[in-house]
Amino acid sequence: MTASLPRTGLTVSRKSPASGKKPLDLFEGRPDKYLKTRGLGGSCRRPTRLSGGPSSCSLRLEPSLLLTSVRSFFGLGTKSEPVPAIGGRRRIEFDPEDTVVYAIGDVHGCFAELKAAEQRIIEDAAHIQVSRRIILCLGDLVDRGPRSADVLDHLTGPPPGGFERLSLCGNHDETFLSFVDDPQANMGWLEFGGEQTLESYGIDLTRIARHRGGLRDIVRATVPEAHVAFLKQLPVSVRFGSALFVHAGVRPGVPLEEQDEDDFMWIREPFVSQPHGLGLTVVHGHTPANEPVFAPGRIGIDTGAFATGRLTVLRVFESEATVIH
């Protein structure tokens, strides 16, 4: 699947996938509330279908009695929403001359899939003669999948030879930081995919519920400072010629220099249904679908890796954006 990225104008030409079918949103509505994975092995899995869920392949997330007991122990209510950390993140611009960017969709703790994606990138880049090769993860590195700690270990290490590697901050990365800073104020993150992240660090929620020394101390003693520092310095956008890479999207009708970074990390509507008017092609994740979405003014590459096992890679080079299989 390839689309042209003109240096000026809004038009994105689309070549339909082999099936000829329009991409469908796998997780329409409230994906954070309606998904769970089957098992927590080394790879991410296809979701389990549960009865009574909404249409369009959405799934109901059953309430966790363990999470309720943890909240009760710390004197918290059973319902809360993740609180984003305070902003001030960098916005980066790269010169597209003699440079190729490989964008990777939402990783969500899928370490095996991330390694496989990087191998596809290495093999593809061997056929492209450029002076600069950039691997760009579009954020949501953690949560939901089984190996968030391994993902951050990998991304804080060196990139493959001959490549630079950069990650954007997604809403899940931001809420993880908020939890590390103040767990009791951000317990809603546990239902946001955070339970799997804590498990990836070897943190047992049943042990937390019995611990009298404080949840914050446990988390800070377990999550490496290198991981926290890495997440704190993540930028929220990368401008690359006529392409703009962000995690979630942009606010339609707002000039680029006035865009709020919370929208870069959190927005879904009205971005996915209205023209944004920036004169750029926005490459984003955050809104999962069963295949990459090529739409006017945007390309969505979150294919729900934690649930489907499919982690999408998009090559952006010269005037074309191409999915790398």
Average pLDDT rounded to a whole number, residues 74-82:
38
104 within some domain: yes
Q: Residue 44's pLDDT is what?
A: 72
**Is 90 exceeded by the pLDDT of residue 175?**
yes
244-261 residue pLDDT tens? 999 999 999 999 999 999
Other beta carbons less than 10 A from residue 261's beta carbon? 20
228-247 residue pLDDT tens? 999 999 999 999 999 999 99
Q: Which pair of structure tokens corresponds to residue 216?
A: 């914050």
What is the C-alpha to C-alpha distance for residues 150 and 146, in angstroms, rounded to an integer? 9
Q: pTM higher than 0.95 for the full model?
A: no
Q: Higher-confidence residue: 282 or 81? A: 282
- 116 band by pLDDT with thresholds 50, 70 and 90: very high
Domain that holds residue 245: 2-62+90-170+234-323
What is the C-alpha to C-alpha distance for residues 130 and 126, in angstroms, rounded to an integer? 10
138-160 residue pLDDT tens? 999 999 999 999 999 999 999 99
99 within some domain: yes
204 within some domain: no
CATH number at residue 264: 3.60.21.10
Which residues are bridge partners to 239 per DSSP? Answer: 93, 244
Average model confidence (pLDDT) across the chain: 81
Do 99 and 134 form a contact (C-beta atoms < 8 A)?
A: yes
7 within some domain: yes
Q: Residue 74's pLDDT is what?
A: 37
- Tally the domains of the chain: 1
Burial category of 40 from C-beta neighbours within 10 Å (exposed 0-12, middle 13-18, buried 19 and up): middle
138 within some domain: yes
**Is 50 exceeded by the pLDDT of residue 97?**
yes
Q: Residue 85's pLDDT is what?
A: 40
**Is 90 exceeded by the pLDDT of residue 87?**
no
**Helix or strand run (H / E) with residue 132:** strand 132-137
201 within some domain: no
Average pLDDT rounded to a whole number, residues 61-69:
38
- 207 band by pLDDT with thresholds 50, 70 and 90: confident
307 within some domain: yes
176 within some domain: no
